[in-house]
Amino acid sequence: MKNNNIQKKVRTRIAPSPTGDPHIGTLYQSIFDYAFAKQNNGDFILRIEDTDRDRFVKGAEENIINAFKWAGIVPDESPSQGGKYSPYRQSERLYIYKKYINELISRKSAYYCFCSKERLAKIREIQIKNKVQPKYDKYCLNLKKDEIDKNLEDNKPYVVRLNVPNDTDIIFDDLIRGRIIINTKSIDDQILLKTDGYPTYHAAVVIDDHLMEITHIIRGEEWISSTPKHILIYKAFGWDIPYFAHLSLLRNRDKSKVSKRHNNTSIDWYREEGYLPEALINYLILLGWSSPDGKEIISMDEFVRKFSFSRVTKGGPIFDIDKLNWINGVYIRQLSLLNLKKLIIPYLKYKDIKSSYLDSILKLTQERLKKLSEINDLISFFIEDIDIPKDLIYGIFSINDVKKIIKNIILIIDKYGINEESEQIMREYALNNNYKIGDFFMIIRLAITGRKASPPLLDTMYVLGDKKVKERLSRLINT
């Protein structure tokens, strides 16, 4: 396959459709487009493909742009930024598509098709019955010029189809998957222009990519079967053919394509749940690419420097939310207290908490946070009254032992306060009375936090303060 783009400035693009929430798969693809462009001092373009008017969702384009901004994937050209290849919104480029599609018609590379839905359905029915791959039978390719002109004059509904050559191998070298050969026997005469005057994806994407001088098309593997159609359109115009690289689709654990049924696919959901954009990008990088040094924590800047198509995953990567949570936790732990506090505030339901008290709590809980939205559950026992799990406590020691232990702990706190000295005295008390250290301190933890797991116990007691700790301990033995 001839390719004359080697000397051109690298230009990549992401072209989502505004048909709903910004999709995690779109962000996944974009990091490869962005990284390859930046590695080669090229440009990364955001284009909006809004020709499917039936699925168009108002406000979706703005959400896409905002999601990319949040993720730190900033395009060099886009509908909001503009650029010398404007407009970047397909619905504003209809006159361009019609001009070029008419050129294909004049070259006999495309043709008008006036077939009714009924005729098309009948053809398909017969082909299926005869166990032939369903595809258009090129009936309208042979219409005479005067018949075409009359149909157009009578405003008879039509589409424009690509004239796909018979039994021809289309060969291209995928930057990820190597040489791919697809014969045109399996390719229908693809519709280029719909009856509503809008181009199909196949026509618009090729025309846009050529006019915007896109050199490398990096997209999902679901487009492999469409690539020959696009190559045929490039050839019909006599245009240079770009490089192609097809990424593996994100998969669920059952190997099915990531979808709303199994996972949250909206970028907005990850933002609202409190995933840091750097962590989400890091995770998506690891899903589709392996670092030569095996690192699991990697920034976008480092990815740009180290990226190569040879290390891109060919198998379907499994989307593992637990791994994402781990990575997000690493990034949260790297935050300064001030930055963590700023990020936490929008999630915090305790609006009247003192700033200094919140600082003390965050110092203890930062290590345990996996996502920002967990903060309220994680710190609630510091602020609200708790339900003491007596069934757990009395499953460790008898009622008499529990009362004895609690009374002595209160006496130790009264005399020594909450510090390392009092902790050591409690430890000695437990040993002297043949209590297991783990069980002994678990009683205290359950009594003052209401849960089996919490930040380090002494630090937790210190932040809660003598008064609150003694109140909770006393409530256990007085109720």
CATH of the domain at 159: 3.90.800.10
Q: The domain spanning residue 409 has which CATH number? A: 1.10.10.350
pLDDT at residue 236, as a whole number: 96
Which of 334, 368, 393 is the C-terminal boundary of a domain? 334
Do 357 and 313 lie in a common domain?
no
Do 255 and 323 lie in a common domain?
yes
Please indicate, yes or no, if residue 83 is contained in any of the structural domains. no
Do 241 and 371 lie in a common domain?
no
Q: Which two tokens stand for residue 275?
A: 């995933």
3-state secondary structure of 44: strand
The C-alpha atoms of residue 59 and residue 50 are separated, in whole angstroms, by: 12
Please indicate, yes or no, if residue 84 is contained in any of the structural domains. no
Which of 345, 380, 415 is the C-terminal boundary of a domain? 380
Do 344 and 329 lie in a common domain?
no
Q: Are 250 and 287 in contact (CB under 8 A)?
A: yes
Please indicate, yes or no, if residue 87 is contained in any of the structural domains. no
Q: Which domain holds residue 356?
A: 337-380
Q: The domain spanning residue 33 has which CATH number? A: 3.40.50.620
pLDDT at residue 259, as a whole number: 67
Do 320 and 345 lie in a common domain?
no
Residue with tokens 């933890």, as numbered in its chain = 445
Strand ranges (DSSP E) for 57-176? 110-113, 159-162, 169-174
Do 206 and 327 lie in a common domain?
yes
- pTM of the predicted model over 0.75: yes
Do 305 and 324 lie in a common domain?
yes
Peptide bond into 87 cis (omega under 30): yes
Nearest alpha carbon to residue 219 among 3, 32, 6: 32
Please indicate, yes or no, if residue 7 is contained in any of the structural domains. yes
Nearest alpha carbon to residue 409 among 419, 421, 423, 399: 423
Is residue 260 annotated as part of the catalytic site, yes or no? Answer: yes
Do 409 and 311 lie in a common domain?
no
The C-alpha atoms of residue 155 and residue 393 are separated, in whole angstroms, by: 83
pLDDT at residue 3, as a whole number: 53
Please indicate, yes or no, if residue 451 is contained in any of the structural domains. yes
Do 246 and 278 lie in a common domain?
yes
Do 362 and 352 lie in a common domain?
yes
Which of these is catalytic: 260, 314, 342, 436? 260
DSSP state of 248: P
The C-alpha atoms of residue 341 and residue 360 are separated, in whole angstroms, by: 11
Do 299 and 411 lie in a common domain?
no
Q: Number of folded domains in the chain?
A: 4
Q: Tell me the longest C-alpha to C-alpha distance in the chain.
A: 108
User: Is the backbone of residue 340 left (phi > 0), alpha (psi -120 to 50) or beta?
Assistant: alpha
pLDDT at residue 79, as a whole number: 95
pLDDT at residue 209, as a whole number: 98
Please indicate, yes or no, if residue 108 is contained in any of the structural domains. yes
Please indicate, yes or no, if residue 312 is contained in any of the structural domains. yes
Please indicate, yes or no, if residue 234 is contained in any of the structural domains. yes
3-state secondary structure of 43: strand
Which of 365, 380, 395 is the C-terminal boundary of a domain? 380
Q: From first to last of the 479 residues of the chain, give the pLDDT tens digit.
A: 445 555 689 999 999 999 888 999 999 999 999 999 999 999 999 999 988 878 888 999 999 999 999 999 999 999 999 999 999 999 999 999 999 999 999 999 999 999 999 999 999 999 999 999 999 999 999 999 999 999 999 999 999 999 999 999 999 999 999 999 999 999 999 999 999 989 999 999 999 999 999 999 999 999 999 999 999 999 999 999 999 999 999 988 877 787 655 568 899 999 999 999 999 999 999 999 999 999 999 999 999 999 999 999 998 899 999 999 999 999 999 999 999 999 999 999 998 999 999 999 999 999 999 999 999 999 999 999 999 999 999 999 999 999 999 999 999 999 999 999 999 999 999 999 999 999 999 999 999 999 999 999 999 999 999 999 999 999 998 87
Do 300 and 317 lie in a common domain?
yes
